[in-house]
Amino acid sequence: MTDHTASAAALSADGMPLKRSLNRALRRQKLRAFVLIAPLLVFVLFTFLAPIGDMLFRSVENQIVSETLPRTVKALADWDPASDAPPGEAAFRALGHDLVIAVERKTHTRLGSRLNYEASGMSSLLRSTGRDVEDIGEDVSAALGALDPAWTEAATWVDLLADPAWIAEQAAWSASGNRSGEPAFRLSDTASSALPDTAEIYGSFARITQQENDRSPTRQDPWHLVAITLVEEITATPSAAQAFQGDHALRLAAIAQADLPATDFVAAFGASNDRWATPTPWAVIAMYSAPYTPGYFLNAVDLGKTPDGIAPRPVEEQVYILLFLRTMWLSLTITGLCLLLGYPVAWLLANLPSRQANLLMILVLLPFWTSLLVRTSAWKVLLQRQGVINDVLVWIGLISDDGRLVMINNQLGTIIAMTHILLPFMILPLYSVMKTIPGTYMRAAKSLGANDWSAFWRVYFPQSVPGIAAGSILVFILAIGYYITPELMGGARGVFISNRIAYHIGTSLNWGLAAALGTILLLVVLVLYWVYDRFVGVKNVKFG
């Protein structure tokens, strides 16, 4: 705006260079404009863009696997998902650890649902093993109890592993008679350095007991997993016992000498479900362990990851491409029908004397102002087998009572109802463009020798194209995302992709896939818009 450079001599009234003064004034103006739109901007940002962004982000987000099974993911890092055998014992052990914690936190069912999106069977596998995993090591706990009854008491474990300062705080809290707000558990430094694995597991146990179950670790028997870990750790390094004093040192030394059997996690998992002895579930965990995944997007286009790379899903699971194509095809049909029906109406609106045109306009707008649900339900009443249209056809003898037409719960129902509902969105832009085409052009064409058709086709129609473009793009974009009318009218085969998105949001709770499908739908609309811009030009679109 200030592109012609002012000479150094050009000063404003207060002695400042003119350019600076002008800039300042402009800045103030811009600032004022910004302040004026700021409420709307903030509103749109927080209530529209942020939630949409957050939802779309779910289409790639996959932290749940590494958060729920951190040890397993680590243990599987070196394992090749394409191999024919399950991973080694370390992975079973890691999964055993992770699952015990996940079951306590109740996160294993969510993980199961998540992995089941990728490979059918993972949900039931994790649920059934989740029920068994807490019993792994029951024999070790029993053996420890037999060796020294002190191990069956929660207090022994606390005394061995907790920070003495915490024990004192906890005792003071307990004596105060409070029922909530127990001090957060802390591990003792001795235990953490001498028995790191045991301390870590016990720390998880104490935290979960306090936070998730609202109980005190001083009163809860630790998981069998703590016993397993302790036995293994002390058997491997008997010297760790020397870090402790008094009874603890003796008890730990006794474990080291007792030579208790190691727990066989491979056998325990195999006993719970023989699928763990195959590489399949492990491959699924390994392939989907990254914090971000293309899995949902692959799923949304009927593809899936396999150990050998990306491959099409089994035929019976391929539905999304079909649904996208169906949505496109039905939307195009609806747009075409709207144009066919709307064009003459818009022409009448633009060319009738204003009295009749106003009446016609009211007839167009009245349904437009009526609730969407009411109109859809009205179509249901009209179109159903025992509905008005069929009744009339039977009454005048066009069809027999047994041969009533099926016009609902199929694609026809969706097309009819949506064409009616979207018709005003075609008529109004057409009308506003046609209103601006002077009638003199047609008369001029005719006076120059054109017949009615060529006057219309070569003079009037080209001028109405921007209206057609605006109406079509509006109707098509609205149609492609329609949900409620196909849901009510479409039956099983007349539904759109948005119905499937709603199903994944509300019923199957597969929000990641819903987000991926939504993102693709958004992209499709943007691409269509771009293509349209290339060929028709958005400049030519007129909404009025």
Partner 1 sequence: MKIKTLLGATALATLPLTGGVAFAQELPACESCADSMVLMSWGGAYQASQVAAYAEPYAALTGVTITWDEGSNEAVAKMRAASEAGNMTYDLVDVEGPDSQRACDEGLALEVDFDAVLAAGDDGSTPTDDFGTSGSIINECFVPQIVFSTTFGYRTDVAAWNGATPDSLCAVFDLETFPGMRALEGRPKKNLEWALLCDGVAKDDIYDVLSSEGGVDRALAKLDTIRDSVVWWSAGAETPQLLADGEVVIGSTYNGRLFSAIVEQNQPIGMLWDWQVFDYDGWVIPEGLDDARMNRVMHFLNFATDTQRLADQAKYISYGPARGSSQPLVSTHATLGIEMAPHMPTNPDNQKNFLVNNIEWWADNQDEVEAVFQNWLTR
Shorter beta-carbon distance to partner 1: residue 116 or 519 = 116
The stretch near partner 1 (CB under 8 A) out of 3-11, 100-108, 141-149, 460-468 is: 100-108
Both tokens of 326, joined, read 């169906």
The stretch near partner 1 (CB under 8 A) out of 142-150, 169-177, 290-298, 492-500 is: 492-500
| Helices 196-211, 89-105: crossing angle, 10 deg rounding | 20
509 binds partner 1 (CB under 8 A): yes
Q: What angle do CA 315, 317, 322 make, to 5 degrees?
A: 85
Binding partner 1 (rule: CB under 8 A), the pick from 24, 28, 219, 493 is 493
Binding partner 1 (rule: CB under 8 A), the pick from 265, 423, 500, 518 is 500
Binding partner 1 (rule: CB under 8 A), the pick from 112, 279, 295, 486 is 112
385 binds partner 1 (CB under 8 A): yes
Site for partner 1 in 180-239 (CB under 8 A): 212
Q: Enter the DSSP assignment of 239.
A: G
| DSSP helix/strand/coil, 177 | coil
Binding partner 1 (rule: CB under 8 A), the pick from 506, 534, 535, 539 is 506
The Cα 356–Cα 364 span in angstroms is 12
Contact characters 53-82, partner 1, x per CB under 8 A = ------------------------------
The stretch near partner 1 (CB under 8 A) out of 19-27, 352-360, 501-509, 518-526 is: 501-509
CB of 293 to partner 1, least distance (A): 18
CB of 127 to partner 1, least distance (A): 5
Shorter beta-carbon distance to partner 1: residue 109 or 463 = 109
State whether the Cα torsion 392-397-401-406 is positive or negative.
negative
The stretch near partner 1 (CB under 8 A) out of 60-68, 303-311, 447-455, 490-498 is: 490-498
Shorter beta-carbon distance to partner 1: residue 473 or 514 = 514
- DSSP secondary structure, 377-433, as one string: HHHHHHHSTTSHHHHHHHHTTSS-STT----SSSHHHHHHHHHHHHHHHHHHHHHHH
| Cα–Cα nearest to 64, from 293, 283, 282 | 293
Contact characters 290-319, partner 1, x per CB under 8 A = --------------------------xx-x
The Cα 359–Cα 365 span in angstroms is 10
Rg (CA), the chain: 36
Binding partner 1 (rule: CB under 8 A), the pick from 127, 207, 375, 435 is 127
Binding partner 1 (rule: CB under 8 A), the pick from 41, 44, 322, 398 is 322
333 binds partner 1 (CB under 8 A): no
E-strand ranges in 277-356 read 303-306, 309-312
The Cα 260–Cα 204 span in angstroms is 24
| Cα–Cα nearest to 479, from 412, 541, 421, 524 | 421
Shorter beta-carbon distance to partner 1: residue 132 or 163 = 132
Determine the residue type at 58.
Answer: R
CB 91 within 8 A of CB 75: yes
Shorter beta-carbon distance to partner 1: residue 3 or 402 = 402
272 binds partner 1 (CB under 8 A): no
The stretch near partner 1 (CB under 8 A) out of 108-116, 133-141, 166-174, 420-428 is: 108-116
Q: What angle do CA 157, 162, 163 make, to 5 degrees?
A: 160
CB 537 within 8 A of CB 320: no
CB 79 within 8 A of CB 91: yes
The stretch near partner 1 (CB under 8 A) out of 141-149, 283-291, 380-388, 472-480 is: 380-388
Both tokens of 322, joined, read 């079909």
Q: Enter the DSSP assignment of 316.
A: G
Kindly list the residues in this chain that would bind partner 1 in the complex (CB under 8 A). 105-107, 109-110, 112-113, 116, 120-121, 123-124, 127-128, 212, 316-317, 319, 322-323, 384-386, 402, 409, 491-493, 495, 500, 503, 505-509
